[in-house]
Amino acid sequence: MRRSKRADSFFVIWRRIKKNRMAMVGTFIVLFFVVLAVFAPWVAPFSPTEHNYEDSLVGPSLKHWFGTDIYGRDILSRVIFGARTSLGIAFLAVSIAAVSGVLLGAIAGFFGGFWDELIMRFFDILLAFPDILLAIAIIAILGTGWFNLVLAIAIYSMPQFARIARSEVVSVKQNEYVEAAMALGEGPWTRLFRYVLPNSLAPVIIQGSLRMATAILSISGLGFLGLGVKPPLAEWGTDLSLARTYLQVAPHLGIFTGLAIFLIVMGFNYFGDGLNDALNPKLKDR
Amino acid sequence: MRNFVVRRLMLLIPIFLGVSILIFLLMHFIPGDPARLLAGEGATPQDILNIRQKFGLDQPLITQYFLFMKGVFTGELISLRTEAGVMEEILPRFWNTIQLSLLSILISATLGIGLGIVAAVKRNSWVDNLVMGFSLFGVSMPVFWLGILLILLFAVVFDWLPAGGKGGFEHIILPAITLGMATSAIIARMTRASMLQVLSQDFIRTADAFGIRRNKIIYKYALKNAMIPVVTIVGIQFGYMLGGAVLTESVFGWPGLGRLIVDSIFSRDYTVVQVGIMVIAMTFVFVNLGVDITYAFLDPRIRRR
């Protein structure tokens, strides 16, 4: 019975998303990049890491659609493999941030008192670091590399999830069905995980989609600063940083990689906005 | 009002302590011995011992924290690379970041508030769609890519503006636009939402029924009320710019504090990294405090909470 209800609500949301043109554009863009990332070795025409100095800094042509970089590497192939790096790291980081942030935020909101103060004041400290700076500070300690990047982005994304989960849990826990569960003798953890948390997740899911966009921007931003994944792994921000050096002689380097970042970030933003409209129809005009 | 300000100032103390402890601990999580790092390659065990004593690294952790904080406030802390005072290194660079952020916020607030008002007044028209489209475009645009495109267009193709560095006013134009793009998009969205909310309220309908001119209603009555959350978002965004400017600074070679911090990470100049991050974080906290106080000043209901 419960499963069919869940399936029903999924179809209701999907129908609302389908009606929203922007959300559909976002879904399509995100799916397109996910497919590229999963099937990268079969889709990419060349190896993303192989140097070929004879073809260095060649402009777009039939052989190399997006041209080549200073090492003669095919940019189209690096864009395709770069999707793998960005989406993989962003997905891992956002998942870690969502699970741990929601858990801590939910505990703070549900139990209140000492735990609430402790957890939320800790997140206030993390929130005192603007934007990408906290990630930079974490990379400064841990060093570069993809796993450290995952941790850095997960840590600085966590407070947002915790705040949203906390405020949702605080309002959902006042519902009568939660009181009814308590009257039936259900313990606090059961009430939290079975009744409160599942009904507090809608804004978390929206936040997850929007956070994917921010995470991808941060990954490429850190890559651009030289604090991202280690070369020769294909990564968009690192490639754009290289492009900046050769902009005068090879302007094509600055176009396609940036376009890929822009498109996928826009895809997640459109999707998140559409999801927001579908889950909170009342807020549509805000 | 005074009570509110005092209460908010008191809240700063735990945040300040937390931030400074977290940043101080950074140094201790870094793999390897800081004294060895300071002494450089080829140092004798005696050199390392001397450095450990000189910087108080042989003291208990809590003493080291107080020594670090004393160093920050008295300006005694020195850069490991240049051996100049850390503050002497940081302050001129921080001033450059502030200049860039101020011009950026000026551009983005003017553009964002203007577009937001037009979109709200012409709701559901093509103008509204265009503004909302611009807004999503702005927040999706990676700053470093926008910077590269602007350099390509205005420095490489047209040769109108310099591609980077710091000099006359023409050097700050492209970085300021780049840094302000995403912010103007956010401000436009916020202004539109806030205006729509105010325009749907009873007092606007009453003003309308009295036959007051539409322009007067929009610009005199609605705008004043709609600006309260917008002022907040402008302030918060200014705080974000101080930290987020690092990418713009890197694209344009603008000698700001963010760039200094990243360069110092590469040269392992950890005192500059620590103090630089602390300066930005604390300014961010103070800017947010300023925003809260302005908000309470504009909206008396907040003070009572």
Averaged confidence pLDDT in chain B: 84
What is the model's pLDDT at position B83?
75
Residue of A nearest to B252 (CA): A244
Q: Region B119-145: what's the mean pLDDT?
A: 88
Task: Please count the other Cβ atoms lying within 10 Å of the Cβ belonging to residue A141.
Answer: 18
Cα dihedral sign, A101-A104-A110-A116: negative
What is the model's pLDDT at position A65?
82
The string of pLDDT tens digits covering residues B27-57 is 667 666 667 766 777 778 888 888 777 767 7
Which among A141, A225, A248 is the nearest to B29, CB-wise? A141
pTM for the model stands at 0.85
Which among B193, B247, B284 is the nearest to A225, CB-wise? B247
Contacts B19 to A, Cβ<8 Å? 125, 128-129
What torsion do the CA atoms of B286, B289, B293, B294 make, to the nearest 10 degrees?
70
Tokens of B161: 């503006």
Instruction: Name the more confident of A39 and B72.
Output: A39
What is the model's pLDDT at position A88?
94
- Percent of chain B whose pLDDT exceeds 90: 19
Contact A251, B152 (CB under 8 A): yes
**What CA–CA distance (Å, rounded) separates B272 from B285?**
20
> CB B247 to CB A258 under 8 A?
no
Say whether pLDDT at B303 is over 70: no
Which among B30, B141, B244 is the nearest to A141, CB-wise? B30
The string of pLDDT tens digits covering residues B179-207 is 999 899 999 988 998 888 888 888 888 88
Q: Specify which residues A112 forms β-bridges with.
A: none
Contacts A225 to B, Cβ<8 Å? 246-247, 250, 262
> CB B262 to CB A226 under 8 A?
yes
- Give the confidence band of B115 by pLDDT, cuts at 50, 70, 90: very high
What is the model's pLDDT at position A285?
45
Q: A270 — contact with chain B (CB < 8 Å)?
A: yes
One digit per residue, the tens of pLDDT, for chain A of length 286 reads 455 666 667 777 778 777 778 888 889 999 999 999 999 889 878 788 787 777 777 778 888 788 887 787 888 889 999 999 999 999 999 999 999 999 999 999 888 888 888 888 888 888 877 768 888 888 888 888 889 899 999 998 999 899 888 888 888 888 888 888 888 888 888 888 887 888 788 888 888 888 999 999 999 999 998 888 888 888 898 888 888 888 778 888 888 889 999 999 999 988 888 888 777 765 544 4
**What CA–CA distance (Å, rounded) separates B258 from A218?**
15
Say whether pLDDT at B294 is over 70: yes
Q: Region B259-287: what's the mean pLDDT?
A: 85
Q: What number of C-beta contacts closer than 8 Å exist between A and B?
A: 137
Angle between helices B143-150 and A256-279 (to 10 degrees): 140
What torsion do the CA atoms of A136, B270, B171, B153 make, to the nearest 10 degrees?
-40
Q: A133 — contact with chain B (CB < 8 Å)?
A: yes
